[in-house]
Structure 1
């Protein structure tokens, strides 16, 4: 097995873990709404999740751990996607925000700054900021 095969495998595990986190947020209220389903479908395609993996993750997302990327920008992008999922059904509940905060910790955002980072992420997505603006603002809030 070549080093590139190992990298691809590790990268795919990160993508599966991230997709599982997105699914967990979508399922917090027990129903995956149309907007959430559309976002899941787009995320699965972008993350190269196969139909078999998709079905398995939907069935039991807790089975898949969060494997955060090394790159800070990639971790911010993951936070962006998670925040978008929180708003996908146009209904935000406390359980979704709590799960988002726990996932942000798993993505290696500092524990003492989680509420501030997640509050800013929510504010940015509510105001329809794109990924570039989101990344810049999160870096300022997180002071990295």
Structure 2
């Protein structure tokens, strides 16, 4: 038995936990609509989530801890993924905001930083950015 077999692949565990976080956000309004389902399916492929793991994650009784990546770019990518799943239905509700803040803090952001990132990300994803931000994003 190899070390990986004994303890599991930590990257895959992190991916599974991240996928579970996205599924929880998608289901936070009580239903996963078709757009959210399509995004979850795509993320499952991207994160190498098996069919069995997918079914297990989708059970309402399952809880997976958030395992924050060490790399700040990876943490930001995970947060981006969460915004992508939330805005699949073009709406962000209060319950999703609460969960999103919790996940951002769970990913390792301080409360203050999480609030700033969430505020700017909501503006970006909802298309309500000011010209300064628009200009900055285009020049990047």
Matched, 1:70 2:70: yes
Q: How many residues align?
A: 130
Matched, 1:58 2:58: yes
- The change in CA–CA distance for 1:61 and 1:87 in structure 2 (over 3 A counts) is farther
For residues 6 and 127 of structure 2, what CA distance do their matches in structure 1 show? 39
Deviant stretches of 4+, over 6 Å: 5-8
**Unmatched 5+ stretches in structure 1:** 129-135, 138-144
TM-score (norm 2): 0.83
TM-score (norm 1): 0.81
- The change in CA–CA distance for 1:52 and 1:75 in structure 2 (over 3 A counts) is same
Deviation at 1:2, TM superposition (A): 5.0
Deviation at 1:92, TM superposition (A): 1.6
| Bigger Rg, structure 1 or 2 | 2
How big is the alpha-carbon RMSD for the aligned residues of Structure 1 and Structure 2? 2.5
**Unmatched 5+ stretches in structure 2:** 129-135
Aligned to 1:37: 37
